[in-house]
Amino acid sequence: MSVWLPAAPCTPRACVRATASRTGVPRAVLRLTAVVVLVLAGVALAPLGGLVPAGVVRRWSRTVVRAAGVRVRVTGASAPAAGGLLLVANHISWLDVPLLAGVRPARMLAKAEIRRWPVAGALAARGGVLFIDRDRLRALPATVERIAQVLRSGHAVAVFPEGSTWCGRAQGHFRRAVFQAALDAGARVQPVRIGYRDVAGALSTAAAFVGDDTLFVSLWRVVSTRGLVAEVEVLPVLAADGHRDRRALAEAAGTGVLDAPPARPSPGPAVVRHAPRGPRQSVGGVRRGEGRRRAAAGWQPATPAIPGNAGTAASS
């Protein structure tokens, strides 16, 4: 393994938090079975390539996610339906692949190890997956040129430029090489932000596929979690020729995608506070003499919270 390969510090033990909202085992088994059947069907049909309508691919992709018990919430504009397009997104989970395909069907860029997988590797290659040999830095220019050729032909290519999965509470940065392909082809770049929230609306790491996680463990964690929501935000498309080089294009694409995701704490019940009632000679709800006693004890009146100042900060 080369030392230059991108890596994330996220691990299941350090980053993935156990969830108290879990579904029953029978339902989780049904979800897992449905996901496996749908994925195998998709892999079997992958060699048909462009013969399958884009609308069918999008519906299948979102059905895979929903079959896992995950609701999908898509915001933002629609991705361009035609022409060369480089889709780039942050990378948290195996769920990111069907979620990105739901934005626009595209040829995925995957690590070369997948090509050596029995059966699935050959089918993936026939289905148009582009492979990158991450162990050979010298092979990178050829991979970039191959991506540029696909973009010039009017197809879309989907890439996760962080190069590794992160837990969702911490993120990496967009590596620049794939953006050179968009510059060479004069193609547009479609940034997409992906995140996951729990049943209460808080950021969730249940979907994360990080570190030494096995695929089965990650699958089981997802299908056994109740109320998981996948958020997909389609950001404004970027014209590659509007940026001076791949560094500037990568930074522009990363803006919004790699910003700290906003916290969404679940709204609690409204609490109405009543001023203490005193006799008629009270002023402002405080009996005469009571204010002096409270001041001596260090009491201060409550200050209303200012919306928008609350936030969360977490790292892996």
**Residue 20 pLDDT:** 63
**Residue 17 pLDDT:** 79
Q: Beta strand 188-197 with 238-239: parallel, antiparallel or unpaired?
A: antiparallel
Burial of 315 (0-12, 13-18, 19+ CB in 10 A): exposed
Say what the pTM is.
0.77
Q: Give the tens place of pLDDT for each residue, 274-283.
A: 434 444 444 3
Q: Give the tens place of pLDDT for each residue, 88-103.
A: 999 999 999 999 999 9
Torsion from C-alpha of 283, 286, 291, 294, nearest 10 degrees: -170
CA distances from 202 to 164, 195, 237, 263 (A): 23, 11, 28, 6
What parts of the chain have a pLDDT lower than 70? 1-6, 18, 20, 49-50, 117-124, 126-127, 135, 260-316
Cα–Cα distance measured from residue 261 to residue 8, given in angstroms and rounded to the nearest whole number:
18
- List all residues 6 or more positions away from 138 whose beta carbon is below 8 Å from its beta carbon: none
**Residue 287 pLDDT:** 43
Cβ atoms of 224 and 28 closer than 8 Å = yes
One-letter amino acid of 9: P
